[in-house]
Amino acid sequence: MARVAIVGVGAIGGVLAALLEVTGSHEITLCTRRPMVRLTVRTPGSVVTVKAKNFTAPALAEPVNWVIVATKAYDAQGAAAWFPALCKNNAPVAVVQNGVEHRERFAPYVNPDSIVPVIIDCPVEHQKDGTVRQRGPAHMKAEAGPLGAEFVQLFEGSRAQVEQTADFVSVAWRKLCVNSVGALSALTMKPAGVLRGEAMAEIARQMVAECVAVGRAEGAQLDDSTAQQVLDGYRAQPLDSVNSMLADRLAGRPMEIDTRNGIIVRKGAKHGIKTPLNQMAVALLQVL
């Protein structure tokens, strides 16, 4: 049994907690800003009520065996405030966030060698009643290594597909290709169905093509069919499916602009690659 703390219990953090709960093998701690009376996750096959400790201040936290960070990427400093207490016994930190800078984001706060970058694919939404709705299966890929193997073992017995990858760069940039298109929903204030129209679909393809070009310059292996695959994935979702960037805008929360589209623009400039559509999306989202 491992003591596992989840820092940031939004939609993704809730799903991670539910997956750990289902294993029946761990003591779970939820680190949140406000008290959580109950965490209920509605999965495709069941309803999971997570039994966990809940701490609302870093000073109250206790040492654990593993820390999983599931906050928004822009809140690295806030998440890191929990590390001195949680990582007192050198617990590794799994960073389950969007973007391609998992280790760089937290290197100022914890030994980089103890960081495990993780990419998750899971359609999930935070409901108005406080529950978390998991619309489909969860897939996670952790950077390969001894800690990556330990992370995979944490979820044995759950319904998630969790594996290691020796090419985390490609995995992260492919997920970024998917996330980049989420800006279109945030801009139009419309869920996934907005991409059923061909005009919006073509914009999405071009945004992904920019991401592919930059990702390849960064060492990612991305083939020419990536843009169409990303579009097909969005079109396979329910028409009312809401991605996290749109959810944040609807709720009046900060959006992961730099993590999802800004990074494409920044890395593109570094390599001399033009990214006009992502640059425009960043400018418009920053104004909003």
DSSP 254-285: ---HIIIIIHHHHHHHHHT---HHHHHHHHHH
Of residues 255, 246, 265, the one with CA closest to residue 75: 255
H or E element that contains 37: none
β partners of residue 7? 31, 69
H or E element that contains 225: none
- Any idea how long the chain is? 288
The whole-angstrom separation of Cα 259 and Cα 99 is: 5
β partners of residue 163? 141
175: annotated active-site residue: yes
Cβ atoms within 10 Å of 209's Cβ, excluding its own: 16
The whole-angstrom separation of Cα 138 and Cα 117 is: 16
Of residues 106, 75, 78, 71, the one with CA closest to residue 92: 106
DSSP 172-217: HHHHHHHHHHHHHHHHHT--GGGGGSHHHHHHHHHHHHHHHHHHHH
- Catalytic residue, chosen from 72, 141, 175, 267, is 175
Active site residues: 175
